[in-house]
Amino acid sequence: MHEMSIAVAMVEQVTETPAADGCQAVSAVRLRLGELAGVVAGSLRFCFSLACAGTVLEGAELLIEHVPGRARCEPCGAEWATGMPPQLCCPQCEGGKAELVSGRELQITGLRHADGADGGGAAHHASVQVKES
């Protein structure tokens, strides 16, 4: 249940970001979440709603973009989807010198500010390519 610590860290970061200046309420937070990040989306959502209570993020939506794990083997050039549990040994040359191309993301990529209810938020919502879990 480190999702609560992660949710608290997210709220701290958002409230401290200079981008929050002049806009009180944050109505949505966009998060890139890697398949290998070790974070459960459902649990994070639950914790996020609790962590937001009493802050400028109260009631904010958490938009999670899932990022699949991918690895690349530098020596042989192979690139593959790691899957879960991940295959981090090169399936082509069986070498152990690969590096992760993606999959460990745990990154806030955007905020939506809105004072009061408005329709603009929904318009933006659609422009963000978010795959809900």
Binding residues for other proteins, rule: CB under 8 A, are 1-2, 4-6, 8-10, 12-13, 17, 19, 23, 27, 31-32, 34, 36-39, 71-72, 84-89, 95-115, 118, 120-121, 124
At residue 83's C-alpha, the angle toward residues 92 and 3, to 5°, is 145
Residue 34 has a CB neighbour count (10 Å cut-off) of 20
Q: CB of residue 53 vs other proteins: minimum separation in angstroms?
A: 13
For other proteins, the closer CB: 81 or 111: 111
For other proteins, the closer CB: 24 or 132: 24
Is 110 exposed, middle or buried, given 0-12, 13-18 or 19+ CB atoms closer than 10 A?
A: middle
Q: CB of residue 119 vs other proteins: minimum separation in angstroms?
A: 9
For other proteins, the closer CB: 39 or 132: 39
Spatial distance between the Cα atoms of 48 and 53, rounded to a whole number of angstroms: 9
Residue 107 has a CB neighbour count (10 Å cut-off) of 13
Q: CB of residue 22 vs other proteins: minimum separation in angstroms?
A: 9
